[in-house]
Structure 1
């Protein structure tokens, strides 16, 4: 193609380039959208703050006009104290894992203008204001501290913190990755005590990763990583009282205590909530700690015959100390209202749909504000529901992906909305859902894409052999001819509770898929059993057999596509990353008769090699369920490979270790199977940095063009 156009005029070359989606454009930022960064409602309910280039700006909800800067300067993030008299400003950061980072922070008194360098300007983790705004707690070198803002005095709470051994108030690697946060401590509401989790990871096996860099001898990254069935950190809960400067261990012996995933404050000044579970994660205790005495009372136990989503907790305490709790008890995720003693008052939301996010409760109107799938499992909408009457009012668009950021008094909200055909729009609305003003759109981005022959996704369903209708989307070439047979390139992730078939904007892989469509491919995606937002029965059918039903559904979908008049059944490929890479590896082995080509990026190839919290939630331990592990490992089926496989992995992947691809490669080699393999030096699970992503996607594009 390039040779054909070399002899044509510059004008024609530019015209041709301007009418197609290319990798050069994708990675130059040409298709980068616009957004609003760091939206936070101020306490008065009439203003909100955002991060801008020159500082933290203040805007009026009523007029949507800027009222100046709260703070001048360039900051990465900010946190107000409760009465918004002080602000914690992140000036510099260094990433550690997915959620954790080292940061340098300033605390600015917005009344006096005084600025304090937190921890004397040294790096800290997870700083948090005390509710009275007089102190900031933080973690440094695995120890917990607090600093008095009036004097600058720093008090060290723990002293035994040590890398790869003891962590105080800080999550270890697997907690952070699978429970979704790094902070493991909480202030009481009256600011006189802190409850924290201590993690002893001394007995956890250590993972080491060579780091090559530009050095004569590689260095090593070493960290504790509990794989399925291996030792986890031994966790304990502790109460520190500021008045006595003493710490006491909390006795959890009578409760589930293998994991302590979450800590919350209640509406009362001297209470903290601990959520704990056993190793199998099929039951969680909700415990109330009296921080004056250290006594513990169990409010209730949430249980499930399969698993509890311990990484997805909804819990808010109301003014009377009753609380709202999210659970999947009736087959969908809904909200429940409890009194302060843990007695169920009522189920707030009901229906064959799910609550996907919880925004808050308005005590004046007795309404909860939520995001749900009530308008279809591929859509997410925003509603308010009266907890007494059950009356529900839709506040957002009735389709697409809609989320909300509410004002402190719930009189306004900023709606962020998108669809598969339209990039993000930010709209100011009132409490009834009426549009007051469009704050930001991405019409310019959409115009660029349309000029470059962007095609919309079509949504539909595909049957599997169990009789389910699986959500799907398809992208067809602009000049699609139903009488022509096209090669099909399937994308999926397929992990538990995930969703790829969503009526939402995808500025990532989807734009690359558009470039493939322009090269004559049909691209499609199917969410099979195990994926989310279609109820717990559909999601949890994969329990103890992770990979079995998921790959059966991808094979069934590929066969269904192959029967369509416009698909060449002999030219079907598949692509996925992480869990999706695992599925691709199974597709090219178990599904070798159906799939001609596959690209597996950073795949798990044996669940024995993945972390304990995630894997055991769905599989139990290898000791309890060896068949479930081995029967669903692509390594066990390496002899079945027929098609063209491209295997890709970063050598410094701290999440899905390079070991996975090494073992799968060895199995393929010993079965005399030919395949392509690309290792990215010192790259983690995301495989990015410098020109890495452009090179990676060019390699995948070339592989598809050659082999599909």
Structure 2
């Protein structure tokens, strides 16, 4: 007969088994664990207020609501879609004019590539409450600073819409698909320099500067679109692969009054990028960041808008590459704030208007990860950094002279900030591995919390029934002595006397980070689900990843996939020696760069990994785009061995374990060509493997039931092969 103590233990363990509700792929990918936030949160410029896009699900309406920063109370509803039948499709995005008396509202958005889209735009006058449809199927409409005009792009040309007269001025006429683009970036700039709008208004609204892309010599890529038609159609666009011709770019200034444009002579550059362009506070001075093709030399150029003469005011060089910065901020006297990792870590610098260094504002063996703004009154800079550890984020303020640094955030995890226009308050977004996002109002004086705005306690309560394990952070040291950030998710009923299979996940791309103390994403929920089925998941950020300084990040230069793969294999060996791990059952998974990595790990680490899943992988860097690939590898013509020795397509003969290869046919980023050529290489190496192709799906492989089917497929593969 069972003793009372044993009976109690049996009841307790039986109850805990019942209590741990199982997570399903269907729940994860239908949004069951989605967090609440503050949608389209924008700080106003002229009043100490902010706006949020709210939705009323029962009435299927949306509102742009105005709130007071000091009290968090709603001041008014600026517009409610229920009052305007033109907005029955809802509000996709919105922007204010500088005086905040007009709003441009977008709907019927139609995506082009990752960031670009066309939409229908309505102009809303806050005083008269009048809504007018002004533009259809256009890109990037932008108010002039005086609020009288809207610059926009349509079908590769630039236009100006006059709000009062409704007259349209055509700025350029030579735009042509797959040949000339004016004021909008080409595919590779959009993807790798992460901007779409390549035009900007001068402060006095009298000039419009823009970049012109001549992509006529760029090789063309085509993708078949299958849909449900009798015959597939073909989508073609210009895509410069590593070592191939890029767009020829030029900088132009259009005078609104005289309706005349001039081309700016940038100097003796050849094969270069204009990676950023913006007007300074001087009506007549335009800035541009010009990079050479190797991206190891960056010039910040100031252009005289009248004469068109250009001069270099700041130059940065690096033995590997120079990162473009979005943090260029011009102060009232046209001195400027700039971020750079020239001392080995990303920091904030102050230069005078001629480009002479006045002061390095932040210093230390840690990185500034976000620049939030500058308060002219108190001469204070606000920023986010990893000063307390590369997996954490904190909010700080510091005087422009580099003194009086104050840590504003107090909770351990990931803190981000949106500041009020006068910098008195900020909305702090906080999350950690155990706390879903919370939004609070805080004082910029000392960081003290005034009140809570949004929390996710309902999600916390909901998750309790799943009795999930905790994601544990640790530092893993490889046999070669490399110290790497890592996390591990063990089954909730973990027993140190058992032997568990391990599923490793990583991305590993240059400057990336997967090991960070923030709330769980959808991948994490899938790993939690795998933990309920007896798997340990581990993630290791190897060399080449970010936020630990330039040397750690840039050591992979010219050899992408060498040290990163070495670190994953070495980490797997360390993990395999843990007493509770079955070293014969270690698998690895990754998407995009992570798929490149997981393929390489299975092939090069054939005796370490039992299986791998690679989704949308680069299989040979020769197939990927010029801007990204050459930043780290130079061209194939200059560095053939770097390309060939680390591309998994050249190591298929080493495959021993189980391999699942997945790709979407409409992937405009990492072309399905990567997987097709890998499949052929594996076939000719007489290797057995598994693969899945998703018709008309892009790099994200989603839409309808796609994600559910995909993650069920991967789950079943893990259970069968690991």
Which residue of the other structure, out of 264, 282, 286, is the alignment partner of 2:296? Answer: 282
1:331 paired with 2:344, answer: yes
Contact 2:250 2:264 in 1 (8 A): yes
Partner of residue 22, structure 1: 24
**Structure-2 separation of matches of 1:473 and 1:607:** 29
**Structure-1 separation of matches of 2:261 and 2:24:** 59
Which residue of the other structure, out of 232, 238, 241, is the alignment partner of 1:224? Answer: 238
Deviation at 1:551? 0.1
**Structure-2 separation of matches of 1:449 and 1:666:** 45
Which residue of the other structure, out of 42, 51, 54, is the alignment partner of 1:52? Answer: 54
1:513 paired with 2:527, answer: yes
Contact 1:528 1:554 in 2 (8 A): yes
Which residue of the other structure, out of 112, 123, 128, is the alignment partner of 2:128? Answer: 112
**Structure-2 separation of matches of 1:389 and 1:35:** 34
SS at 2:41 equivalent:
strand
Partner of residue 35, structure 1: 37
Partner of residue 63, structure 1: 71
1:379 paired with 2:392, answer: yes
**Structure-1 separation of matches of 2:46 and 2:99:** 10
Partner of residue 99, structure 2: 83
**Structure-1 separation of matches of 2:313 and 2:617:** 41
- 1:499-551, Cα deviation, whole Å (9 max, x unpaired): 00000113220000000000000000000000000000000000000000000
Partner of residue 342, structure 1: 355
Contact 1:455 1:478 in 2 (8 A): yes
Partner of residue 600, structure 2: 586
Gaps of 5+ in 2: 1-13, 56-61, 82-89
Contact 1:375 1:398 in 2 (8 A): no
Deviation at 1:257? 6.3
Partner of residue 215, structure 1: 229
Contact 2:20 2:467 in 1 (8 A): no
SS at 2:679 equivalent:
helix
- 1:180-221, Cα deviation, whole Å (9 max, x unpaired): 011111111111001100001011111000111101111011
Cα distance change of structure 1 residues 467 and 398 upon mapping to structure 2, 3 Å threshold: farther
Partner of residue 378, structure 2: 365
Which residue of the other structure, out of 506, 511, 521, is the alignment partner of 1:492? Answer: 506
Partner of residue 304, structure 1: 318
Cα distance change of structure 1 residues 465 and 145 upon mapping to structure 2, 3 Å threshold: farther
- 1:326-359, Cα deviation, whole Å (9 max, x unpaired): 1011110001100000000010000111000111
Q: Which moved more, 1:106-115 or 1:318-327?
A: 106-115
Cα distance change of structure 1 residues 506 and 538 upon mapping to structure 2, 3 Å threshold: same
1:678 paired with 2:692, answer: yes
Which residue of the other structure, out of 305, 317, 323, is the alignment partner of 1:291? Answer: 305
Q: Which moved more, 1:381-390 or 1:685-694?
A: 381-390
Deviation at 1:124? 0.5
Deviation at 1:294? 1.3
- TM-score normalized with structure 2 length: 0.94
1:163 paired with 2:165, answer: no
**Structure-1 separation of matches of 2:30 and 2:93:** 26
Matched ranges for 1:308-707 at <5 A: 308-310=322-324, 312-431=325-444, 432-707=446-721
**Structure-2 separation of matches of 1:657 and 1:389:** 47
**Structure-1 separation of matches of 2:410 and 2:24:** 32
Matched ranges for 1:124-139 at <5 A: 124-139=138-153
SS at 1:341 equivalent:
coil
Cα distance change of structure 1 residues 693 and 389 upon mapping to structure 2, 3 Å threshold: closer
- 1:403-454, Cα deviation, whole Å (9 max, x unpaired): 1110100011111111112111111111121111111111111222221121
- 1:444-489, Cα deviation, whole Å (9 max, x unpaired): 1122222112111111111135422100000011111111110000
- 1:240-299, Cα deviation, whole Å (9 max, x unpaired): 111110011111133576100111121112211011111000011101111122121211
Aligned residues: 693
**Structure-1 separation of matches of 2:470 and 2:333:** 49
Deviation at 1:697? 0.3
Displaced runs of 4+ in structure 1, greater than 6 A?
Answer: none
**Structure-1 separation of matches of 2:400 and 2:47:** 22
Cα distance change of structure 1 residues 465 and 542 upon mapping to structure 2, 3 Å threshold: farther
1:233 paired with 2:241, answer: no
**Structure-1 separation of matches of 2:621 and 2:77:** 50
Gaps of 5+ in 1: 1-11
**Structure-1 separation of matches of 2:430 and 2:402:** 28
Matched ranges for 1:119-268 at <5 A: 119=135, 122-255=136-269, 258-268=272-282
Cα distance change of structure 1 residues 389 and 285 upon mapping to structure 2, 3 Å threshold: closer
Contact 2:160 2:171 in 1 (8 A): yes
SS at 2:164 equivalent:
coil
Deviation at 1:667? 1.0
**Structure-2 separation of matches of 1:81 and 1:511:** 41
Contact 2:28 2:522 in 1 (8 A): no
**Structure-1 separation of matches of 2:384 and 2:270:** 31
SS at 1:226 equivalent:
coil
Contact 1:210 1:218 in 2 (8 A): yes
Contact 2:667 2:697 in 1 (8 A): yes
Contact 1:268 1:321 in 2 (8 A): yes
Deviation at 1:113? 2.9
- 1:78-115, Cα deviation, whole Å (9 max, x unpaired): 11111111111112200000000001111122223333
**Structure-1 separation of matches of 2:313 and 2:707:** 49
Partner of residue 9, structure 1: none
Cα RMSD of the aligned pairs, angstroms, is: 1.4
Deviation at 1:45? 4.2
Q: Which moved more, 1:161-170 or 1:437-446?
A: 437-446
- 1:658-686, Cα deviation, whole Å (9 max, x unpaired): 00011111111111110000000110000
Contact 1:81 1:87 in 2 (8 A): yes
Contact 2:267 2:310 in 1 (8 A): no
Contact 1:472 1:525 in 2 (8 A): yes
